[in-house]
Amino acid sequence: MSEALASLPAVGPEVKRRDGATGDRIFNWVVMGCGLFVLAALLAAAISMAWGGLLAFRTFGFGFITGTEWDPVAQHFAGLVPIYGTLVTSALAMLIGVPISLGIAVFVTEVAPRWLRGPIGGAIELLAGIPSIIYGMWGLFTFAPFMSDYVQPALIDWLGPIPGIGLLFSGAPMGIGMLTSGIVLAIMIIPYISSVMRDVFLVVPAQLKESAYALGSTRWEVVRDIVIPHTRTAVVGGIFLGLGRALGETMAVTFVLGNTHNIAISLMEPGNSIAAAIANEFTEADTDIYLSSLIALGFILFVVTFIVLAAAKLMLLRMAKQRGE
Amino acid sequence: MLTNKLLSACLGAGLAAAFAVSASAADITGAGSTFVYPVLSKWSADYNKQTGDKLNYQSIGSGGGIAQIKAATVDFGASDAPMKPEDLSAGGFGQFPVVVGGIVPVINVKGIKSGELKLSGKVLADIYLGNVTKWNDKAIADLNPGLKLPDSQIAVVHRSDGSGTSFNWTNFFSKVNPDWKSKVGEGTAVNWPVGIGGKGNEGVAAYVTRVKDSIGYVEYAYALQNKLPYVLVENAAGQYPKPNADSFSAAAASAEWGKAQDFYLIMTNAPGEKAWPITATTWAIMYKEPKDAERSKAAFAFFKWALEKGQKEASSLDYVPLPETLVKQIEDYWTASFKG
C-alpha cells in the first residue's frame, strides 16, 4: 500500500499548475484521429474488396457461396470449399488451442514456482514471433511425416471403427490435411491466447484469491470460481484474437492443408482454405472474373471474421446481463 | 520562407528522381515466369560482368509477366504459355522462345526405381482424372510386363498455384486424352479432378517424397535435386526416351517452329523419335514498336547474347540450349518484326 501512495504525483505548492485546456484539445484531436484511422482503414478494405469482388458476385450470384465448383479453365467459380476448409481448420485449432492456452496461463500464474514463470513467459512470446512460413515448412517437412507415420495410423485404427466419429478418422494417412492444419494452427495461436490470459490472470486481486484459499478452496476451485469469472471478458477477447488469426492464416495452412478443392467429412482428407486459395492462385489469375472471384473470397473471409467477432461481442453482453450488470 | 523551403525540397526530390531514372536507364527490366528465373539470374550476373549492363527480373508468374508488359512497366514479359498471334498483333507485341526445359512425372512407390515404370500419356492422364486409381491397374500392368506393381491406391499430387508447368502438363494431357480435354482442359490452373496440391515445384517434390504411393510432376532439375524416381512417358513416335538434355533438345528440334506464326507452338508431344513428350519453353514478350527504343535495344542485346553465348550456362542449370536452327529463326524474326 505504501508503495502505491508513493507513486502518486506529489501535489503541493512547489508544483506549477498550467492551463491544460489547449493541450488537452490537441490531445483529443490526435487520439480521435488514431481511432478514426482504424475505422477508415477497415471501411476502405471492406469497400475495395466488395468492389473488386462485385464482378464475381454479379456473375455467379448466391451460388458463389453455396457452390463447390472451382474451374479456372471453364471460368466458373464458387467458394464453398475454401469457406468450409477455413471454418473447419479454425474450429479444430480452437478446440486444441484454447484448453492448452488456458492450462499454460493457469500454470504460469497460479501453479508454477516463481523462477519458472519468466522462462515460460519468454518462450510464449518467442513462439508468437516465429514467422508463419517457418511453421508451414516445419509442418510439411517435420510434423506431417510424424503425423502420417505415427498419429494418423493410430487414430484410424482406434477411432476409425467407431460408428459416427469413425467417419472423421477414415482415409489414407497422408500426413497432410484438415487435422494437421488444425494442429499447426493451434500451435500458432496458443501464444496469442495464452499471453492474453496470463496477463489478465495476473491482475486478479490477490485478496479475492487469498480469501478463497483461506476458506479451503483448492487451486482448481480458485481458478474456476474466482480467476476465470473475474477475467472472462478479457479471456473471451483473447480467444477471439486467436480465432481471428486462425481464420486468416495463410502460409502455414497452404503448406499442410493439401490445397484440394474438395469437401470431405474425414479430417484426414486434404482441403482448401480461403487465404490459401488466394495465396496460391493470385499470381496466375489472368482473367477479370478469376481475379474478381479471388477478391470476392477475400471479402467473404472479411465478413466471416466480422460475424465471428460480432458473435463474441453478443456473447459477452449476454454474459454481463446474466450477472446482472 | 515556407514556399522557398517547399520549393527547394521539391527540387531536391526531383533531382533525386532524375538521378534514379538515369541510373536505371541502362538496366533492362523484365517480369514473369518463375520457370526461367534461375537461368535468367545466372545470365544477368554473367552479362553484367561482361558488359556492365544489368538485368532486373521479377519472377512474379507468367500471368503477372503478361500483365506487366501490357502495362508497359517492363521491357519484356516472360510467360510459359505463349500469347496467341491475334492477341500479339492487337497489343503490338512480338514473342520468341528463350530456353527449353523438361517436365517429368516422379513417383514414390516402394520397389520401383527411377526409369523402370513406363506410362503412356493416356494412362498418365487417366491417373490424373481418377479413372486409374491403383498402381496394379490393368492399364498400368499392360504397359509394364514383368514389373511388380503394388496393390495400393495412387496418391496424385499436382501444383496448387497457377504455373506454366501445369499449363504444359495439362496441354500434353489434352493432346493425348480426349476425356481430359473435354472434362478438364488446359491452363496454368485447372479444376483438378483428384489429388493434393503442392505449392511450387518444391512443394510437389516434398509431397511426393513424403506421401507413399504418390505420383507428381516437377521440372527436371527438381527431380534431379530431390533424387525422385522418374517415370518414362511414351512420346508421339511410340518410344520411351529417358528425360535428359538430349531428349529435351530433340523435342525442341523436332517441333515445327518454321510453321508456327510468332512461335506460337507448344512443344508437348513433339513428333521426334527421341523427343521427350513433355518439353516446355518460356517465351519473352516485347513491344514491336517500344516507347523507349534505347531500353528495348538493350534488352535485345541481352537476348542475343543469351541465345548465342548464354546457352552453356543454361545447361549447367539443367535447362536445354535452343537448337541452332531455332536460334537462327528467332534472329530472323527479330529483324523482320521488331523495330530498332
pLDDT reading at B309 higher than 50: yes
The listed range with the strongest mean pLDDT (A202-206, A226-230, B120-124, B220-224) is B120-124
Across the A/B interface, how many CB contacts are shorter than 8 Å? 87
pLDDT band for position B120 (cuts 50, 70, 90): very high
- DSSP label at B134? B
Work out the average pLDDT over A153-173.
Answer: 84
A chain contacts of residue B62, beta-carbon cutoff 8 Å: 284
pLDDT confidence of residue B140 = 95
Write out residues 35-94 of B within 8 Å (CB-CB) of A. Answer: 60-64, 66-67
- Residue A97: which residues within 8 A CB-CB, separation 6 or more? A185, A186, A187, A189, A190, A193, A242, A246
Phi-psi map region of B320: left, alpha, beta (phi>0 left; psi -120 to 50 alpha): beta
The listed range with the strongest mean pLDDT (A88-97, A171-180, B35-44) is A88-97
Work out the average pLDDT over B115-119.
Answer: 94
Residue B124: closest CA among B224, B216, B238 = B216
Strand (E) or helix (H) holding B280: strand B279-287
| CB-based contact B64 A284, cutoff 8 Å | yes
pLDDT reading at B116 higher than 90: yes
pLDDT band for position B286 (cuts 50, 70, 90): very high
pLDDT reading at B228 higher than 50: yes
| CB-based contact A286 B199, cutoff 8 Å | no
Q: Are A170 and A160 in contact (CB under 8 A)?
A: yes
- DSSP label at B262? G
pLDDT reading at A2 higher than 70: no
Q: Does B185 touch chain A (CB under 8 A)?
A: yes
Cell 502495362, located at residue: B71
pLDDT confidence of residue B26 = 61
pLDDT reading at B5 higher than 60: no
Q: Does B160 touch chain A (CB under 8 A)?
A: yes
Residue B219: closest CA among B272, B167, B144 = B167
What average pLDDT is seen over chain A?
87
**Closest CB to A283 among B60, B186, B191:** B60
* Cell of residue A116, nine digits: 519458472
pLDDT reading at B196 higher than 60: yes
B chain contacts of residue A254, beta-carbon cutoff 8 Å: 160, 199
**pLDDT tens per residue across span A267-320:** 888 999 999 999 888 877 878 899 999 999 999 999 998 888 888 888 888 877
Distance between CA B94 and CA B39 in Å, rounded?
Answer: 22
Distance between CA A184 and CA A139 in Å, rounded?
Answer: 7
More confident residue, B13 or A126: A126
Q: Find which of A71, A274, A284 to mutate to test the B interface (most B CBs within 10 Å of its CB).
A: A284
Lowest mean pLDDT among A167-176, A225-234, B89-98, B132-141: A167-176
pLDDT reading at B172 higher than 60: yes
| CB-based contact A144 B195, cutoff 8 Å | no
> Exposed e or buried b for every residue in A222-253, given b needs 16+ CB within 10 A?
bbeebbbebbbeebbbbbbbbbbbbbbbbbbb
Q: Are B197 and B158 in contact (CB under 8 A)?
A: yes
pLDDT band for position A5 (cuts 50, 70, 90): very low
| CB-based contact A255 B199, cutoff 8 Å | yes
pLDDT band for position A19 (cuts 50, 70, 90): low
Work out the average pLDDT over A48-61.
Answer: 94
pLDDT confidence of residue B224 = 86
| CB-based contact A72 B188, cutoff 8 Å | yes
Distance between CA B42 and CA B325 in Å, rounded?
Answer: 24
pLDDT reading at B141 higher than 70: yes
Q: State the pTM of this model.
A: 0.80
Work out the average pLDDT over A13-38.
Answer: 82
- Residue A187: which residues within 8 A CB-CB, separation 6 or more? A97, A127, A135
pLDDT confidence of residue B159 = 92
B chain contacts of residue A78, beta-carbon cutoff 8 Å: none
Q: Does A101 touch chain B (CB under 8 A)?
A: no
pLDDT confidence of residue A39 = 93
**Closest CB to B190 among A73, A259, A286:** A73
Three-state SS for A285-305 is CCCHHHHHHHHHHHHHHHHHH
How far from the centroid of its chain's Cα atoms is residue A30's Cα?
30
Ranges of H-type helices in A10-128: 21-60, 63-66, 80-106, 114-128
A chain contacts of residue B156, beta-carbon cutoff 8 Å: none
Distance between CA B92 and CA B218 in Å, rounded?
Answer: 34
pLDDT band for position A140 (cuts 50, 70, 90): confident
- DSSP label at A10? P
pLDDT reading at A12 higher than 60: no
Q: Is A230 helix (H, G, I), strand (E, B) or coil?
A: helix
Work out the average pLDDT over B278-300.
Answer: 88
Q: Does B203 touch chain A (CB under 8 A)?
A: yes
Cell 479471388, located at residue: A294
